[in-house]
Structures are given as C-alpha cells and as structure tokens.
Amino acid sequence: MDPPVPVWVSVRKLLPLGTEILAPRNRAGLRIETELPGLLFEWARREDGGLLGWVTYQLVTADDQWSRPVSHYVPAHLVRRRGPARRQQFGDRRPRTHG
C-alpha cells in the first residue's frame, strides 16, 4: 500500500501474557499494551483463505528508555484502521468530560 495505512495492532492478543506474569516487574522489560499504533504496508492471503497484514509498530520498555520497531505479518482480525476520533470526523468541538 502506498502510502501505508495507519492502523491499531492488538498486541496483547498477538503476544498474550503467559504464566510468568507472577514474576517481579522488570522496568527495562518490554511493555505489552492492549493496542499500539502501527502502519499497514500490505495484505497477504494465507493458503486457507485468511488474510495477514504486514505491519510495523514500536515496542517500548516499561521505563520508556528503549524502543524497537517490529515488522511482521499479523492476522487481519488483530488489525483495525486508525483515523481521527469520531468527534473530530464530525467537527465536534465540545470539551471532553471524561478520559
């Protein structure tokens, strides 16, 4: 895709937490967010008919001292298009009351 499409990647579903979550927290360890912003570069068809998206996103350490871009194929159900918030799409300028 040219240009690449901004997407959200469901990283927590892609890299599920394992049984080691009972270990002490490591501030230099990678933070696995629920979703991360990324870029979709192409779709590829799997042999069984499903879709995979080639995406790039950033993994960051818990202390924000280090990051690494990651690129790989992700199942289509874990990728969703990213765009302006609904309130921005429709020109809503009301002040936010939450979040």
Q: Where are the domains of the chain?
A: 5-89
What CA–CA distance (Å, rounded) separates 56 from 15? 15
Residue type, 86: R
**pTM for this predicted structure:** 0.74
Mean pLDDT of 60-67: 88
Q: What is the pLDDT of residue 86?
A: 55
List alpha helices for the chain, DSSP H.
Answer: 11-14, 86-89
Where does the pLDDT of residue 29 fall: very low under 50, low under 70, confident under 90, or very high at 90 and above? Answer: confident
Residue 48 pLDDT > 90: yes
What CA–CA distance (Å, rounded) separates 12 from 61? 15
Q: What is the pLDDT of residue 87?
A: 53
More confident residue, 95 or 34: 34
